[in-house]
Amino acid sequence: MKKFYLSLLSFTAVFVFFSFNNSVQLNQNGLPIDSLEAEKENFVNIVKETIKGKEGVSSDSVFRDIQMLKGVPAENLLNIMNYGFSKALGVGCDHCHNTTDWASNEKNAKQISREMMKMSGQIRDMISNIKEIESEKATINCTTCHRGEIVPALKMKD
Ligand code: HEC
Ligand code: HEC
């Protein structure tokens, strides 16, 4: 009888383990979506706490090394970080940052992102010069290419 209960117990344990495992959804970079979202939210809140009362003030006078996003209100910069950059690439803040020193440029991905902003601006200008495009709002951003992946696709998925 004892043996029966023991095997039932281990069966339940295996079942619980697998059903838990199945519920972890991964993004296109193979990172668990839920914990990534929670972690980003947490970092945004930590930074927000340090800029209390200055949310509407220009990023370059609130943060320490703003080269591209000058004039953007501090709170908007955090939205760009969370929804514009992290989500577009499917990564956490730590892909580009040392999360104990946000102004540090030690990760290449951060400097690459500045160049990507420059490149995106150039492409936007080029698009607005294509006169035959009727849309007034023809534009691009990080999501246009990255679509949730670190390396943009070169071919359609099957
Ligand atoms: C894909 C790269 C990338 C990701 C992901 C990213 N950042 Fe950034 N972050 C940057 C770049 C680039 C800058 C500098 C912008 C500039 O020079 O105008 C920056 C600047 C910042 C700054 C200002 C630091 C200072 O003092 O100068 C903060 C704070 C920040 N990011 C927070 C975050 C948070 C929080 C997340 C996650 C929700 C995040 N970032 C995700 C690229 C990234
Ligand atoms: C026109 C398409 C395009 C746009 C728009 C674009 N990227 Fe990229 N990005 C690329 C390509 C292509 C690569 C190189 C991928 C490879 O082969 O490694 C890349 C690489 C990167 C990398 C390095 C990948 C890594 O290993 O970390 C970062 C970071 C990055 N992009 C951030 C951004 C951000 C932030 C934006 C928006 C400001 C952006 N990109 C907009 C096409 C684009």
112-149 pLDDT, tens per residue? Answer: 999 999 999 999 999 999 999 999 899 999 999 999 99
- Best substitution site from 97, 119, 143, 145 to test ligand 1's pocket, by max atoms within 8 Å of Cβ? 97
For residue 152, the CA-to-ligand 2 centroid distance in Å is: 7
Q: Tell whether pTM > 0.85.
A: yes
Cβ of 142 less than 6 Å from ligand 1? no
In this prediction, residue 158 carries a pLDDT of 84
- Which residue is closest in CA terms to ligand 2's atom 27? 109
The token pair at 20 is 């838990």
| Nearest CA-CA partner of 74 in 48, 100, 39 | 48
The token pair at 157 is 């998925």
In this prediction, residue 64 carries a pLDDT of 98
Place of tokens 């943009």: 152
In this prediction, residue 8 carries a pLDDT of 60
- Which residue is closest in CA terms to ligand 1's atom 22? 102
The token pair at 132 is 């035959």
State the average pLDDT for the chain.
92
| Nearest CA-CA partner of 120 in 76, 155, 87, 88 | 88
> Phi/psi at 145 (nearest 5 deg)?
-95, -50
Cβ of 36 less than 6 Å from ligand 1? no
pLDDT one-digit tens code per residue, 72-85: 999 999 999 999 99
- The fold of the 22-146 domain, in CATH, is Photosynthetic Reaction Center, subunit C; domain 2 (1.10.468)
The token pair at 149 is 């992946």
pLDDT one-digit tens code per residue, 56-103: 999 999 999 999 999 999 999 999 999 999 999 999 999 999 999 999
- Best substitution site from 145, 149, 154 to test ligand 2's pocket, by max atoms within 8 Å of Cβ? 145
pLDDT band at 157; cut points 50, 70, 90 = confident
- Best substitution site from 55, 82, 99, 102 to test ligand 1's pocket, by max atoms within 8 Å of Cβ? 102
Closest atom of ligand 2 to 117 CA is 38
pLDDT band at 20; cut points 50, 70, 90 = low
In this prediction, residue 5 carries a pLDDT of 66
Q: Which ligand is nearest to the CA of 68?
A: 1
In this prediction, residue 78 carries a pLDDT of 98
Burial environment of residue 72 by CB neighbours within 10 A (0 to 12, 13 to 18, 19 or more): middle
